[in-house]
Amino acid sequence: MALLIETQPVPLTINSDGVVRVGNTRVTLDTVIAAFLKGATAEEIAQQYPSLSLPDIYSVIGYYLKNRYEVDKYLATRKQQSQAIREQTEKKYDPVGIRERLLMSTYHVETTVSKDGKLSIQGLPFHPGEKVEVTVRGAKKNTTNRYSLRGQPVRYEKPFEGAAEGDWEVLK
């Protein structure tokens, strides 16, 4: 029996933005090659990105090894584009202190505005002179409880008897 050798297409697609993705996934060529260059095996890459098949990963790595110059050129261009986008984003949205803002504790306190327009908040774990950020929202208008049984304990008096529609308060 003779071995049939046929050429298999490389599982790479280019989307409308010019980004090369592996197979029919959202995983980019950049991601797979970066993992490979950091020393990850094809099996480790498959474990990290379960949407990729092992044969596709081997095929992409083989393509990279055969076309190293072109792929490296593509990756360098993508890196430049990424850096430009990062700079634009950082100009638009100040990254300074973002970690602190994300990790900032949030406290929910309800209070009422006095007749003279002053707002008094008590019971927060802050010290006099400490800077805090306050966001004020108006109360929700509709405060009726649509689900009167939600959060309530349930007690079955006769658990083996059937229930009729008239037995359920929610249906009334």
Report the 10 Å Cβ neighbour count for 150.
8
Task: Name residues whose C-beta falls within 8 Å of residue 172's C-beta, 6 or more positions apart in sequence.
Answer: 166
- Digitized pLDDT (tens) for each residue of the chain, 172 residues in all: 789 899 889 999 999 999 999 999 999 999 999 999 999 999 999 999 999 999 999 999 999 999 999 999 999 999 999 999 999 988 888 777 777 777 776 777 777 788 888 878 777 777 788 888 777 777 666 656 666 666 676 666 666 666 555 655 665 5
* pLDDT at res. 143: 59
The string of DSSP codes covering 84-140 is HHHHHHHHHS--TTHHHHHH---------B-TTS-B-----S--TT--------PPP
Specify the amino acid at residue 169.
E
> Cα–Cα distance between 112 and 164 in angstroms, integer?
44
Specify the amino acid at residue 118.
K
* pLDDT at res. 134: 77
Domain residue limits, the chain: 12-92
* pLDDT at res. 48: 95
* pLDDT at res. 161: 66
Residue 32 in contact with residue 60, Cβ under 8 Å?
Answer: yes
Q: Among residues 132, 106, 136, which one has the least CA distance to residue 119?
A: 136
* pLDDT at res. 70: 97
* pLDDT at res. 26: 95
Task: Give whole-number Cα distances, 49 to 23, 36, 52, 55, in Å.
Answer: 12, 13, 6, 13
Residue 48 in contact with residue 78, Cβ under 8 Å?
Answer: no
* pLDDT at res. 145: 62
> Cα–Cα distance between 11 and 2 in angstroms, integer?
26
Task: Name residues whose C-beta falls within 8 Å of residue 63's C-beta, 6 or more positions apart in sequence.
Answer: 10, 12, 71
* pLDDT at res. 49: 96
* pLDDT at res. 118: 83
CATH 1.10.10.10 fits 12-92, yes or no: yes
